[in-house]
Amino acid sequence: MAVDLTIVTGMSGAGRSAAADGLEDLGFFVIDNLPPALISKVAELAGSGERSKNYAVVVDVRSGSFVDDLVAALAVVHEQGVRTQILFLDASDDVLVRRFEASRRPHPLADATNAGEGTGIASGIERERVLLESIKGQSDLIIDTSSTNVQELRNRVREVFGEPGSDGLNVSLVTFGFKHGVPLGVDLLFDCRFLPNPYWDERLRPLTGESSKVKRAVLRHVEAKDFLAELERMLGTVLPAYAREGKSHLSIGLGCTGGRHRSVVLAGEVAKTLSALGYPAQIHHRDIERD
């Protein structure tokens, strides 16, 4: 599905501005801090076809009526026939607290009556998370920035919003280690821990799944070959179906214990399969540098 307007929202401190920068890098016309009531005005321009730009607006919580205002604005936009997608930026509460403490800026929903800087920030985060719960549930794409710096987030946005497949579906792959937590916003998740772990081979332990030695060690197992064959058949069925249902972004997660060996190898093979199916995919190795 071709999209006329991208709406960027999410938790304060999760990286909305960096995401907007990433969209601008791709040539999007981005409007920051737009009140929800004005979204329909931008949507008119985005859906008019008079300009070739992709449009994005960044909206955030400014009041308790934010969600109602945004839902009402989206209803108007959809009545206009404008195709939209919502990108939601999120991060864990403790990461958000640290970011606000480091920036020395108050959280927009912090309770000034709470004693202690950290307490006020935490209360603001809690209130915001409750307010945004329904919007998060409606989002087309969720990016977890808990372990991502600003430049990595910009790169991630460029990867996700880059050139889509022939039917408009943009596919991204993320590898991770289960011991570091499952990434948010993954549509399809595959557990690669059914394969023998190269970590237990002292010669392979310091290497990653991008090494030819690790690739050979993982792919020599018949289970790996069978898994990739079954996955190719499944993706050949579900990807066109997702596109027909109007989905514009699909995130596929592959996890192993640490996120450095098995998931990285299999993601490389899955990317080849996706390319052959007409869905060139970008890969984000979340935990490849972690112990």
Over residues 246-250, the mean pLDDT reads 81
Model confidence band, residue 227 (pLDDT cutoffs 50, 70, 90): very high
Least confident of 57-66, 80-89, 182-191, 214-223: 57-66
Q: Give the position of tokens 């993982």.
A: 218
Pair 182, 176: CB distance under 8 Å? yes
Round to whole Å and give the CA distance between 185 and 41. 29
Q: What is the pLDDT of residue 1?
A: 46
Q: What is the pLDDT of residue 214?
A: 97
Round to whole Å and give the CA distance between 96 and 1. 33
DSSP string, 156-193: HHHHHTS---TTS-EEEEEEEEGGG-PPTT-SEEEE-T
User: What's the pTM value of the predicted model, to 2 decimals?
Assistant: 0.64
CATH superfamily of 5-160: P-loop containing nucleotide triphosphate hydrolases (3.40.50.300)
**Residue 39 pLDDT greater than 80, yes or no:** yes
Task: With CA atoms as reference, report the closest residue to 171 among 25, 271, 21.
Answer: 271
Over residues 15-27, the mean pLDDT reads 88
Adjacent-strand bridge partners of 88: 9, 142
Q: What is the pLDDT of residue 163?
A: 65
pLDDT, tens digit, for every residue of 147-178? 888 888 888 888 788 766 656 688 889 999 99
Higher pLDDT, 207 or 70: 207
Q: What is the pLDDT of residue 115?
A: 44
Pair 209, 218: CB distance under 8 Å? yes
**Residue 3 pLDDT greater than 70, yes or no:** no
Q: Calculate what percentage of the chain has a pLDDT beyond 70.
A: 90
**Average pLDDT of every residue of the chain:** 87
Q: How far is CA 103 from CA 98, 115, 128, in A?
A: 9, 19, 18
**Residue 80 pLDDT greater than 60, yes or no:** yes
pLDDT, tens digit, for every residue of 190-201? 999 999 999 999
Domain boundaries, the chain: 5-160, 170-285
Terminal Cα distance for the chain, rounded: 40
User: Which residues, other chains included, contact 261 with Cβ-Cβ below 8 Å and sequence gap of 6+?
Assistant: 197, 198, 199, 204, 207, 208, 209, 214, 218
